[in-house]
C-alpha cells in the first residue's frame, strides 16, 4: 500500500455546482490532486521520510519531494476550506481576530481577494496565524505553504489555473469572488482553535 493516500473529498463531486462544476472538480481532484500523491509515493519509495506524516514531509523536504508533498497537502486542506452549506461569515474568536488584524470582515475579504487575484502565475492565497497570534494574508507562489514559514494555515484558495480554467477560463477574479459563497468558516474556526490551544 502506498505510504500516502489521497483523502476523499468532504462532499460529493457535484456539491459545489454553481461555483465549481462537477467536471472542474473531477479534473482537479481526480487528475491533478491524485497525481501529486502518485509522484510523491514514487519519489519516497524506500525512503525513511515515507514513515513521517505528510505535514512533516512538507516541512522537512525540498525540491521535487517538497513540490509534490506540499501540493498533496495543500489540496487536501483546500477541499476542507469549502462547503455546500456555508455560513455568511466568521463568528466568535475568529471574527474578533479578523476585526483586530484587518479592521473588519469586509476589509479582510478585499485584501484576501486582492492577494488571490494579483498573485502572479500559479500559487495559493492563505490566511495564516503566526506564533504570536497575529493573522496575516500570504500570497505564495507554486507549492509554497505557511508550514514553511512557521505559520499555521487557517484558510486557502488555490489560484493555479487548473483550479478554475474549466469553469472560468482566464477570469480568475470571478473565481475568487465566488469563493466567499462556499467558504467553510467552521473549518477555519476549528483550525484557529487548534492553533491557539
Q: Which residues are annotated as a binding site?
A: 28, 75, 158, 162
171 contacts: CB under 8 Å, gap ≥ 6: 164
Q: What does the alpha-carbon distance between residue 140 and residue 183 come to, in Å, rounded to a whole number?
A: 19
39 contacts: CB under 8 Å, gap ≥ 6: 64, 68
Q: What does the alpha-carbon distance between residue 16 and residue 161 come to, in Å, rounded to a whole number?
A: 18
- Phi and psi torsions of 41, nearest 5°: -65, -35
Question: Which residues does the annotation place in the binding site for Mn(2+)?
Answer: 28, 75, 158, 162
Q: What does the alpha-carbon distance between residue 28 and residue 183 come to, in Å, rounded to a whole number?
A: 18
β partners of residue 82:
183
- In the 8-state DSSP scheme, what is residue 7? P
The candidate with the shortest Cα–Cα distance to 27, out of 122, 160, 163, is 163
Amino acid at each position: 500500500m502506498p505510504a500516502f493516500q489521497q483523502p476523499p473529498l468532504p462532499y460529493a463531486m457535484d456539491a459545489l455546482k454553481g461555483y465549481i462544476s462537477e467536471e472542474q472538480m473531477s479534473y482537479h481532484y481526480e487528475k491533478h490532486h491524485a497525481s501529486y500523491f502518485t509522484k510523491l509515493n514514487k519519489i519516497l519509495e524506500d525512503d525513511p521520510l515515507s514513515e513521517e506524516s505528510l505535514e512533516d514531509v512538507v516541512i522537512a523536504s525540498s525540491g521535487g519531494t517538497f513540490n509534490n508533498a506540499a501540493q498533496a497537502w495543500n489540496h487536501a486542506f483546500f477541499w476542507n476550506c469549502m462547503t455546500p452549506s456555508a455560513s455568511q461569515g466568521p463568528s466568535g474568536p475568529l471574527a474578533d481576530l479578523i476585526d483586530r488584524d484587518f479592521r473588519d470582515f469586509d476589509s479582510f475579504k478585499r485584501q484576501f481577494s486582492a492577494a488571490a487575484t494579483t498573485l502572479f502565475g500559479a500559487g495559493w492565497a492563505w490566511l495564516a496565524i503566526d506564533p504570536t497570534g497575529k493573522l496575516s494574508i500570504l500570497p505564495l507562489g507554486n507549492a509554497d505553504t505557511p508550514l514553511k514559514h512557521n505559520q499555521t494555515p487557517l484558510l486557502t484558495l488555490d489560484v493555479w489555473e487548473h483550479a478554475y480554467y474549466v469553469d472560468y477560463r482566464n477570469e480568475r477574479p470571478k473565481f475568487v469572488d465566488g469563493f466567499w459563497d462556499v467558504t467553510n468558516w467552521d473549518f477555519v474556526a476549528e483550525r484557529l482553535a487548534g492553533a491557539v490551544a
